[in-house]
C-alpha cells in the first residue's frame, strides 16, 4: 500500500474529526464534493454537519473560523488556493493573529493553504504565501515537504492553541508517496537533516526539498557531499539546526520557491550572517523564483522556479568560492 | 422585508414598557456622563490616543444592551458605550482601557474602544469593523454546535462599514447558515467626514436586507421608545429562529468622529432637523411627559451616575502604568513555539 501527500492530508483530517469533537472543516466545495483537490473526500458523509461548504467569501470564512475558535472549537479552514487567502488577509493577520495577545483567549484555527507552482496554473493559482504570514506575530507557519510531515504536522496544527497557516504544496499532492502513515514524528519547530553531507548546506522546505535532494544527487558523482536541511516549519524557524549544519559544512545555500525580495531564504541568511558569520567559509547564497508573477506556460514556469539543475549550478558556484 | 415603526399609543403593557424604558434611559445617562468624562480627560491630556463618543447614538445603543441576555454575543460599534454598559460591561473596563491600566481587560495592549470580554460575550473589535460580523457568525455557529439555542448575536456598525466587502460576505454567510444574527446599522450620516451620498446610492440601507433574503427594519434612532421596540423585536425574531435580522437606525452623530475632530463638515440643516435632536434629552422629556418619573429622580440618577464615574476614574488613576520590563512579549499562546525574539 502507498500513501500520497494528499492522502496524508485527508487522513489527518479524518483522524482529527474522529478523535476531537471540537474539530470541524469549513471551506469552498469541501462538503459532498470533497474539495477541489479531494483533500476532504468522503469526510462529510462520515461526519455529517461537521464538514461544511462555504460561500465564496474568504474573509467571512476565516472570520467565522475565528469566532468559532474563540468559543473553543477547532476549525480547519480550507482555502481553495493559497492565492485566494489574500482576500482573507485582514481576518488572518489582524483578527486571528492578534486575538490571543489582545484578549488572552486562544485562537486555535488551522488554515490549510494549497500553495506553490504547478505547470499551467499561472499567476493566481501558484503563489507561495508562507513568508507573508510568517512576518506577522501570532501565527505559526508550517511547510511540510514529505508525506509523513503532511500527516503528523497537520494533526499537530489542529492541536496547537494558536492560528496555524498550513502550507501544503500542490505539486506534491499526487506524486509524493510513502509506504505508510507515520506513527511518530519530529515536533513542530524542529528542522530535519534530510541528507547528510560535509561540503555545503542547502536549507530549504516544501517542494524545493525534492529539487535540492535531486541536486545533491547530481553533485555526488562530482565528489561533493551536500547536506540538505528541511526546515519543515517556517515559523518558528529552527535556527539551531541550521547553524549546526553550517558549522559542519562552512557553506550555505538557501533555496525557496517564493519571490526573491525578503522571505524565508533572506531570513535564514540574515540569521546565519548575524549569529554564525565566523562559521562561513564563503558568502551565504540564496536561490529563489524570478521576481515576476508565476507564468502559465510550462517552458516559462520551469525557468521561473528553482530546479535541481539551477540549484546544482548555484551549489557548484558556491563550492568554487 | 418587514418595516416596523413605533406607533403612538402602542398597546404595549405600560408598566413593562416604562420599566425597560427607564432602565435603558439610565444606561444612556450613565454612558453620556462617562463619555463626557472621557472627553474632559482627553482635553486634560490624561488619555493617550483617541476618544470616541456615543453622543446622539445612546438610544439605539442602550436598546441593544437591554434587549440582550446573558449568554448572547455583542460586537459593539465604537459609539456603543451605552449598549456595553447595559449588556453588563463594568464601568472600570472602559475607564481602565481608556486610561491604559494594565488591570483592564486589554492589559494596556489595546486602548479606548478596542476592548471586550470574550467569555462574557463582548467581542473586542479590530479597527476594520466590518470584519467583526463574520466573527459573531462564528460564535453563533459554535453555540449551535454546542446545542445551545435561544442565543442571539448583535453586530453593530455604522453606515460606512456597510460599504466593505466583509459586511457583504458576512451578511450572506449569516443568511446561508440561518444564524441568529442581528445586524444593527447606525446610519449617523457621516463616516468620519464622508456624507451618505458619497457612501452609498440606494434609497435606504435597509433595502439591502432583501438582497440577502433576510428581514429588515427601519427605525428613528433618536427615539428611545422606537429603538427599544424595533431592536427588541429583531432580537426576539432572531432568537425564535427566524434567521438574521437587519435594523437600520437613522440618527446623527452629535460629536466629531473622535474628540480630535471638530466635525465642522456636518451640514447645519441636518443638525436642525429631527435627526439632529439629542436622543437623551428626548427620552428625558418623554419620561416626564408620560409621568414615569419626575425631574428630581432624574437629577438623583444623574448625581449617582456622576459619582460612579468619578469613583472609577479615581480608582484607575491610582493604578500603576504597565511596566515594559515585566511585559510578556510573546504573541503566542503556545509559548514553547515562540521564536524568543523577546530575549
Q: Is A77 on the interface with B (CB under 8 A)?
A: no
Q: What is the pLDDT of residues A24-81, one digit of tens each?
A: 999 999 999 999 999 999 999 999 999 999 999 999 999 999 999 999 999 999 999 9
Task: Print the domain residue range for A288.
Answer: 192-320
Is residue A107 situated within a structural domain? yes
pLDDT at residue A186 in the model: 95
Let me know whether A163 and A209 are in one domain: no
Let me know whether A221 and A266 are in one domain: yes
Is residue A187 situated within a structural domain? no
User: Total structural domains in chain A?
Assistant: 2
Contacts of B339 in chain A (CB under 8 A): 235-237
Residue B6 has pLDDT above 50, yes or no: no
Domain spans, chain B: 14-337
Q: Are the beta carbons of A200 and A159 closer than 8 angstroms? A: no
pLDDT at residue B7 in the model: 44
Interchain CB distance below 8 Å, B106 and A103: yes
Q: Is B335 on the interface with A (CB under 8 A)?
A: no
Distance separating alpha carbons of residues B312 and B95, to the nearest angstrom: 7
Q: Are the beta carbons of A157 and A119 closer than 8 angstroms? A: no
Q: What pTM value is reported for the model?
A: 0.96
pLDDT at residue B11 in the model: 43
Contacts of A60 in chain B (CB under 8 A): 133-134, 137, 166, 169-170, 172-173
Distance separating alpha carbons of residues B64 and B154, to the nearest angstrom: 8
Put simply, the chain B residues between 174 and 213 with a CB less than 8 A from any chain A CB are: 176
Is residue A184 situated within a structural domain? no
Residue B131 has pLDDT above 50, yes or no: yes
Q: What residues have CB less than 8 Å from B128, skipping those under 6 apart? A: A90, A94, B164, B166
Is residue A31 situated within a structural domain? yes
The partner residue sitting opposite A70, judged by closest CB among B109, B139, B333, is B139
Let me know whether A34 and A160 are in one domain: yes
Select from A148, A178, A208 the last residue of a domain: A178
Is residue A186 situated within a structural domain? no
Q: What is the ipTM of this complex?
A: 0.96
Q: Where does B149-242 have alpha helices with state H?
A: 165-177, 208-212, 224-239
pLDDT at residue A208 in the model: 98
Residue B5 has pLDDT above 50, yes or no: no
Is residue A74 situated within a structural domain? yes
- Å between B259 CA and nearest CA of chain A: 24
Phi, psi of B214 (to 5 degrees): -125, 170
Let me know whether A39 and A167 are in one domain: yes
Over chain B, what is the mean pLDDT? 95
The mean pLDDT value for A259-285 works out to 97
Let me know whether A167 and A22 are in one domain: yes
Q: What is the pLDDT of residues A94-151, one digit of tens each?
A: 999 999 999 999 999 999 999 999 999 999 999 999 999 999 999 999 999 999 999 9
Q: Is B134 on the interface with A (CB under 8 A)?
A: yes
Q: What residues have CB less than 8 Å from B45, skipping those under 6 apart? A: none
Interchain CB distance below 8 Å, B337 and A63: no
- Å between A317 CA and nearest CA of chain B: 32
Is residue A165 situated within a structural domain? yes
Number of helices (H), then strands (E), in chain A: 13, 14
Contacts of A97 in chain B (CB under 8 A): 331
Q: Is A90 on the interface with B (CB under 8 A)?
A: yes
Residue percentage of chain B with pLDDT more than 90: 93
Distance separating alpha carbons of residues A195 and B285, to the nearest angstrom: 82
**The CATH number of the domain where A210 resides is what?**
3.40.50.920
Let me know whether A44 and A13 are in one domain: yes
Let me know whether A132 and A216 are in one domain: no
Select from A143, A178, A213 the last residue of a domain: A178
Residue percentage of chain A with pLDDT more than 90: 100
Distance separating alpha carbons of residues A139 and A111, to the nearest angstrom: 11
**The CATH number of the domain where A156 resides is what?**
3.40.50.970
CA B61 to chain centre: 5
**Would residue A125 show up in a list of annotated catalytic residues for this protein?**
yes
Contacts of A95 in chain B (CB under 8 A): 126, 131, 135
Let me know whether A163 and A220 are in one domain: no
The partner residue sitting opposite A95, judged by closest CB among B131, B170, B330, is B131
pLDDT at residue B15 in the model: 83
The mean pLDDT value for B231-251 works out to 98
pLDDT at residue B14 in the model: 61
Distance separating alpha carbons of residues A84 and A96, to the nearest angstrom: 17
Say if domain B14-337 classifies as CATH 3.40.80.10: no
Q: Is B121 on the interface with A (CB under 8 A)?
A: no
Residue B10 has pLDDT above 90, yes or no: no
Residue A1 has pLDDT above 90, yes or no: no
The mean pLDDT value for B142-162 works out to 97
Q: What is the pLDDT of residues A215-261, one digit of tens each?
A: 999 999 999 999 999 999 999 999 999 999 999 999 999 999 999 99
Let me know whether A146 and A170 are in one domain: yes
Distance separating alpha carbons of residues A32 and B311, to the nearest angstrom: 59
Q: Is B20 on the interface with A (CB under 8 A)?
A: no
Is residue A183 situated within a structural domain? no
Q: Is B106 on the interface with A (CB under 8 A)?
A: yes
Q: Are the beta carbons of B68 and B74 closer than 8 angstroms? A: yes
Size of interface A-B (CB pairs under 8 A): 139
Let me know whether A283 and A138 are in one domain: no
Q: What is the pLDDT of residues A5-38, one digit of tens each?
A: 999 999 999 999 999 999 999 999 999 999 999 9
Interchain CB distance below 8 Å, A102 and B109: yes
Q: Is B118 on the interface with A (CB under 8 A)?
A: yes
Amino acid at each position: 500500500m502507498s500513501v500520497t501527500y494528499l492522502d496524508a492530508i485527508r487522513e489527518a483530517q479524518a483522524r482529527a474529526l474522529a478523535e476531537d469533537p471540537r474539530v470541524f472543516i469549513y471551506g469552498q466545495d469541501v462538503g459532498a464534493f470533497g474539495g477541489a483537490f479531494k483533500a476532504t473526500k468522503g469526510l462529510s458523509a462520515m461526519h455529517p454537519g461537521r464538514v461544511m461548504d462555504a460561500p465564496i467569501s474568504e474573509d467571512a470564512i476565516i472570520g467565522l473560523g475565528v469566532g468559532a475558535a474563540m468559543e473553543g472549537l477547532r476549525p480547519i479552514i480550507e482555502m481553495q488556493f493559497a492565492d485566494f487567502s489574500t482576500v482573507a488577509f485582514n481576518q488572518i493577520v489582524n483578527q486571528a493573529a492578534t486575538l490571543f495577545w489582545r484578549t488572552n483567549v486562544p485562537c486555535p484555527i488551522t488554515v490549510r493553504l494549497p500553495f506553490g507552482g504547478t505547470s499551467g496554473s499561472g499567476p493566481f493559482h501558484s503563489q507561495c504565501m508562507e513568508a507573508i504570514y510568517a512576518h506577522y506575530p501570532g501565527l505559526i507557519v508550517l511547510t511540510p515537504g514529505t508525506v509523513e510531515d503532511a500527516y503528523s504536522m497537520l494533526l499537530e496544527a489542529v492541536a496547537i492553541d494558536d492560528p496555524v497557516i498550513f502550507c501544503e504544496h500542490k505539486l506534491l499532492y499526487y506524486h509524493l508517496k510513502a509506504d505508510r502513515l507515520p506513527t511518530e514524528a519530529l515536533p513542530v519547530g524542529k528542522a530535519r537533516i534530510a541528507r547528510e553531507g560535509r561540503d555545503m548546506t542547502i536549507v530549504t522546505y516544501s517542494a524545493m526539498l525534492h529539487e535540492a535532494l535531486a541536486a545533491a544527487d547530481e553533485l555526488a558523482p562530482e565528489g561533493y557531499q551536500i547536506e540538505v536541511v528541511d526546515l519543515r516549519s517556517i515559523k518558528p524557524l529552527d535556527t539551531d539546526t541550521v547553524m549546526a549544519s553550517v558549522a559542519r559544512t562552512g557553506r550555505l545555500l538557501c533555496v525557496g520557491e517564493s519571490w526573491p525580495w525578503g522571505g524565508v531564504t533572506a531570513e535564514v541568511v540574515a540569521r546565519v550572517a548575524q549569529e554564525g558569520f565566523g562559521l562561513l567559509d564563503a558568502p551565504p547564497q540564496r536561490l529563489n523564483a524570478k521576481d515576476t508573477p508565476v507564468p502559465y506556460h510550462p517552458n516559462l514556469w520551469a525557468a521561473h522556479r528553482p530546479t535541481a539543475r539551477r540549484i546544482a549550478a548555484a551549489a557548484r558556484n558556491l563550492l568554487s568560492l | 422585508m418587514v418595516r416596523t415603526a413605533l406607533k403612538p399609543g402602542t398597546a404595549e403593557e405600560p408598566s413593562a414598557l416604562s420599566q425597560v424604558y427607564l432602565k435603558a434611559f439610565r444606561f444612556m445617562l450613565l454612558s453620556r456622563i462617562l463619555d463626557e468624562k472621557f472627553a474632559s480627560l482627553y482635553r486634560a491630556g490624561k488619555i493617550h490616543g483617541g476618544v470616541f463618543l456615543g453622543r446622539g447614538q445612546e438610544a439605539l445603543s442602550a436598546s441593544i444592551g437591554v434587549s440582550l441576555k446573558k449568554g448572547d454575543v455583542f460586537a459593539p460599534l465604537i459609539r456603543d458605550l451605552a449598549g456595553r454598559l447595559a449588556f453588563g460591561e463594568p464601568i472600570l473596563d472602559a475607564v481602565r482601557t481608556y486610561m491604559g491600566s494594565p488591570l483592564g481587560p486589554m492589559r494596556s495592549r489595546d486602548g479606548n474602544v478596542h476592548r471586550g470580554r470574550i467569555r462574557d460575550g463582548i467581542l473586542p473589535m479590530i479597527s476594520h469593523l466590518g470584519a467583526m460580523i463574520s466573527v459573531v457568525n462564528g460564535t453563533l455557529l459554535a453555540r449551535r454546535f454546542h446545542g445551545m439555542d435561544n442565543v442571539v448575536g448583535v453586530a453593530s456598525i455604522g453606515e460606512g462599514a456597510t460599504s466593505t466587502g466583509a459586511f457583504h460576505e458576512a451578511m450572506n454567510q449569516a443568511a446561508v447558515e440561518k444564524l441568529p444574527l442581528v445586524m444593527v446599522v447606525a446610519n449617523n450620516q457621516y463616516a468620519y467626514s464622508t456624507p451618505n451620498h458619497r457612501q452609498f446610492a440606494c434609497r435606504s440601507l435597509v433595502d439591502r436586507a432583501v438582497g440577502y433574503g433576510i428581514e429588515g427594519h427601519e427605525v428613528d434612532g433618536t427615539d428611545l421608545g422606537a429603538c427599544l421596540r424595533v431592536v427588541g423585536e429583531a432580537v426576539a425574531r432572531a432568537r425564535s429562529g427566524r434567521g438574521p435580522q437587519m435594523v437600520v437606525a437613522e440618527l446623527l452623530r452629535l460629536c466629531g468622529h473622535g474628540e480630535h475632530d471638530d466635525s465642522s463638515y456636518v451640514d447645519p440643516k441636518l443638525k436642525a432637523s429631527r435627526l439632529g435632536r439629542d436622543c437623551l434629552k428626548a427620552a428625558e422629556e418623554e419620561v416626564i411627559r408620560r409621568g414615569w418619573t419626575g425631574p428630581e429622580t432624574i437629577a438623583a440618577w444623574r448625581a449617582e451616575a456622576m459619582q460612579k464615574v468619578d469613583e472609577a476614574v479615581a480608582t484607575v488613576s491610582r493604578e500603576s502604568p504597565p511596566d515594559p520590563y515585566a511585559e510578556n512579549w510573546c504573541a503566542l499562546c503556545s509559548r514553547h513555539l515562540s521564536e524568543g525574539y523577546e530575549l
